[in-house]
Amino acid sequence: MAKISRLSLAGLRNLAPVALDTDSMNILITGSNGAGKTALLEGISLLATGRSFRESRLQRCQQWQATQLTLYAEVDNCQGQHKLGWQRYKQNTQLRLNGEQITSQAQLARQLPIQVFSPESHDLLTHGPNERRRFLDWGAFYQEASFLPAWRRYQHALKQRNHALKQQRPDNEIALWNAPLWDAAQQIHQTRSKYTALLAETATPLLAQVSDSLQNIQLSYQAGWPEHETTLMTLWHQQLAHDRQLGYTQAGPHRADLKLRIEDRDALSLLSRGQQKLLALTLMLAQAQLLRNAIQETPILLLDDLAAELDAQHQARVLTLLPSLNTQTFLTATNEDSLKLLSTQRQHWHLEQGNIRIIQ
Ligand SMILES: Nc1ncnc2c1ncn2[C@@H]1O[C@H](COP(=O)(O)OP(=O)(O)OP(=O)(O)O)[C@@H](O)[C@H]1O
Ligand SMILES: [Mg+2]
Residue 206 belongs to a domain with what CATH number?
1.20.1050.90
Regarding whether 201 and 100 lie in a shared domain, the answer is no
- Cα(331)–Cα(41) distance, integer angstroms: 8
Residues lying with their CB under 5 A of ligand 2, a single-atom ion: 38
Closest Cα to atom 31 of ligand 1 = 34
Q: How many domains does the chain have?
A: 2
Regarding whether 351 and 303 lie in a shared domain, the answer is yes
Helices (H), the chain: 37-49, 105-111, 123-126, 129-143, 147-166, 171-175, 178-210, 232-238, 240-246, 267-270, 273-295, 312-325
Q: Give tens-digit pLDDT for 184-195.
A: 999 999 999 999
Regarding whether 225 and 176 lie in a shared domain, the answer is yes
Domain-located, residue 249: yes
- Cα(28)–Cα(333) distance, integer angstroms: 7
Phi (first) and psi of residue 358, to 5 degrees: -85, 120
Which pLDDT score is estimated for 294?
83
From 9, 30, 38, give the residue whose CB has the most ligand 1 atoms within 8 Å, as the site to mutate: 38
pLDDT band, residue 64 (cuts 50/70/90): very high
Which pLDDT score is estimated for 76?
96
According to DSSP, the residues that pair with 6 across neighbouring strands are 21, 74
User: With b meaning 16 or more CB within 10 Å and e meaning fewer, what string describes 250-267?
Assistant: ebbbbebbbbbebeeeeb
Query: What is the torsion angle, in degrees rounded to the nearest 10, for the CA atoms of residue 211, residue 214, residue 219 and residue 224?
Result: -120
Length of the chain: 360
Q: Give tens-digit pLDDT for 123-175.
A: 888 889 999 999 999 899 888 989 999 999 999 999 999 999 999 999 999 99
For residue 42, which atom of ligand 1 is closest to its CA? Answer: 18
Cα angle for residues 121, 123, 128 (degrees, 5° grid) = 150
In 3D space, the residue among 15, 19, 17, 18 whose CA is nearest the CA of residue 6 turns out to be: 19
- Cα(70)–Cα(312) distance, integer angstroms: 36
Which pLDDT score is estimated for 297?
84
33: left (phi over 0), alpha (psi -120 to 50) or beta: beta
**DSSP state, residue 116:** E
pTM, two decimal places: 0.90
Domain-located, residue 123: no
Closest Cα to atom 24 of ligand 1 = 33
From 18, 37, 332, 353, give the residue whose CB has the most ligand 1 atoms within 8 Å, as the site to mutate: 37
Residue 247: domain span = 128-268
- Cα(122)–Cα(273) distance, integer angstroms: 8
Regarding whether 105 and 143 lie in a shared domain, the answer is no
Domain-located, residue 34: yes
Q: How large a percentage of the chain has pLDDT more than 70?
A: 100
Which pLDDT score is estimated for 215?
87
Which pLDDT score is estimated for 328?
95
Counting Cα atoms < 13 Å in the Cβ hemisphere of 18 gives: 20
In 3D space, the residue among 307, 360, 354, 350 whose CA is nearest the CA of residue 31 turns out to be: 350
Regarding whether 78 and 39 lie in a shared domain, the answer is yes
In 3D space, the residue among 329, 331, 330, 327 whose CA is nearest the CA of residue 297 turns out to be: 327
Ligand lying closest to the C-alpha of residue 57: 1
Regarding whether 230 and 202 lie in a shared domain, the answer is yes
In 3D space, the residue among 142, 139, 232, 229 whose CA is nearest the CA of residue 184 turns out to be: 232
Domain-located, residue 288: no
Domain-located, residue 287: no
Regarding whether 233 and 136 lie in a shared domain, the answer is yes
Regarding whether 184 and 89 lie in a shared domain, the answer is no
Domain-located, residue 48: yes
- Cα(53)–Cα(38) distance, integer angstroms: 10
From 14, 41, 53, 353, give the residue whose CB has the most ligand 1 atoms within 8 Å, as the site to mutate: 14
Query: Which residue type is seen at 273?
Result: R
Among 248, 268, 288, the domain-final residue is 268
Q: Compute, in angstroms, the gap from residue 38 CA to the centroid of ligand 1.
A: 7
Domain-located, residue 284: no
The answer to whether residue 8 scores a pLDDT higher than 90 is yes
Which pLDDT score is estimated for 123?
84
Pocket of ligand 1 (CB under 6 A): 13-14, 31, 33-39, 60, 62-64, 305, 334
